[in-house]
Structure 1
Amino acid sequence: MLKPYASQPGETRGRLHAEKLSTFRSPWQRDRDRIIHSSAFRRLKHKTQVFVEHEGDYYRTRLTHSIEVAQVARTIAGVLGLNEGLAEAVALAHDLGHSPFGHTGEDALELLMAPYGGFDHNAQALRIVTKLEKHYADFDGLNLTWESLEGIAKHNGPIVGPYADKKKHPEDAPLPYALEEVNAQFDLELHTFASAEAQVAAIADDVAYNHHDLHDGLRAGLFTAEDLMELPLTGPAYEEVDREYPGLEANRRDHEALRRIFGYMVEDVIAIATNRLESAKPETAQDIRDMDRTIIRFSKPFYQNLKVIKSFLFKRMYRAPSVVRERRRVTMMVNTLFPLFMQKPELLPQEWRQEVDAVQSDTELARLVLDYVAGMTDRFAIQEYKRLCT
């Protein structure tokens, strides 16, 4: 049973291109299925979070991360009486716009694209689902609903207006061109918060990566369980496991402790969201959008503890010497491939060269090259660098 403030299937604002309703699926179940069957979603299999794809079979990729985010989003949405289909669709789509080599590749492309309208992975995800996926007879993209597009664009909060995060979205900064193009076609109300379901997808992203980065860092040997016992949340979790299972072998001990962390995060979000919803008494999905803050968030004490863990991960994992060395290597690859395709667009694959003929400026060419490079997997980017540059 959906709560009144949940997104109601019968009240969707529709799609850019009108379609008949599905016989068996809600609009957002249909969006979810289109995302899963998209080429961009399949490519997430070989795009990484922190470690480059070839470094180990056990590390998370963007694909496994997206599946984990969707699982958390479904759980939280279900407990809160929200629309699970919409929460899952946004969760599965939230990383579609990421470049190869995780945040390292994104940082490189942001600098390269600065003269041409910038690069933002959420905006690029919108470009993928509205333009770059070209499989359907009647339209480019996936023709997702307004609610799914809104969730992809602003699951982390408003982009403009008084409630926008000024660090991420300075008042005088132009909109990313990919976002501006979609917003001009289908007003996403960038000054408001997203639906409760999209907010759930955003917090599920935090839950998933905080959990799996601890797990991947342990597996990589960048820190130990003893290190984690010195931290808030993780320390008490290990102590609880040791009391319940004294002498447990190391890998099972780690798993038991980290699954408790997972549970702590989800339980905190649900408790706080329940209290906030009961206090605010929203009557419609739009009431959630029109609030002056997010309704789905961690409690303040819990978030402070998470900040300590994030600081630890930043120092011991994201800036570990081995990771930094790899970051330099892959940054060099992106910084070589992008200008190479700008100078010699004839090196692009045949289907992309057809687009080059319509290009009328360096900016249009740069955006075309960006679409190609950002869509690469880690593995393919490395192969292309070796083929073209060595």
Structure 2
Amino acid sequence: MTTATMTEWRERYSHDLMGSYAPPLRLLVRGDGCWVWDDDGKQYLDFLGGIAVNSLGHAHPVVVEAAGRQAALMVHVSNYFATPSQLELAERLKTITGAGEEGRVYFGNSGAEANEAAFKLARRTGRPRILALKNGFHGRTMGALALTGKPALQEGFLPLPGGVEHLDSTIDALEAAMGDDVAALIVEPIKGETGVVPLPEGYLREARRITERHGALLIIDEIQTGVGRTGLWFDFQREGITPDAVTMAKGIAGGVPLGVMVTFGAASGLLQRGDHGSTFGGNPFATTVAIAVLDEIERADLLGNAARRGEQIRAAVESFGSSLVTEVRGRGLLLGIGTVEGAAPAIAAAALELGLIVNPINPTSIRLAPPLIVGDAEVEAFRDRLGQALAAS
């Protein structure tokens, strides 16, 4: 791509789009599987997957077929009416989350919306305090931002909705903060936006015990970890616990916007008619595509693939023995490469030039979230290109 061409479309972007994002890295025009192409025809291996969104990669036949079929019938009605795919997906999500017959499903359009619903669920307990974790991320809307434990993101938007306290990610801190006036604790099993940092081993089991003792809700944000990304349908299932609510979005519909909150047990009765709503939430287009994505994850054993490929990718990174790499964190196909201070952006920039898309989430962390369909060829291409990027950095 010529400098002039890149300058032209970047100028158009900065002229017409809100300046809330960094300048785009490339102008992408198409994708196929784990690969994308820019407007100059250069091919890139996509190991970010739209930030853990493109579960089946790009232009997967299952998604294309489902989207075309449903678009030919109807894309949207409203929540004054039900549709077959809305009912089917709700039943399916109650099954794979383990919410069972008592569970209920709320459909929105994004992870932030799902967490807004969870915030309102907690408020409906009548208790004034909500606990969240420092460096956690739950979205950019005002309620979700109040839950987010990143003061730098909150500055400029204060005052936010009140009653939220941010804790260290330790059981001691949770024990000290917990009381019978706490409505809920909301946590991510892995803090993706902090550099892919898992909670301490056993944290969720102890958090479940403590919240139950005090009658508080345990809300698990699986926006980034859910729908097979870590090798299970949901990462909380690794701990063998039952939460009161789980939120999800990103990978559930293969790139079509869809956010979901699933509630368990007594929490399912907290929100009543008129308490919350979404015009687009659960429309037949998004829910039809989501069903197709879940079907394909099951048919192709992509849960197992995520677990296996994650170990291959971890081993590939560790095999370089690079002085720039300090550790590999995460599970399945949500991995973080820890680097020495300041190295992550340079490594990611070198990788992009070599045709590999990864995400320098901060100066010491590179996030990997490839499609769940990633195979041997893609892992080998990743190994080759990352090795070159490390050598060039």
What is the TM-score when the length of structure 2 is the normalising length?
0.28
The structure richer in helix per residue is 1
Which structure has greater strand proportion? 2
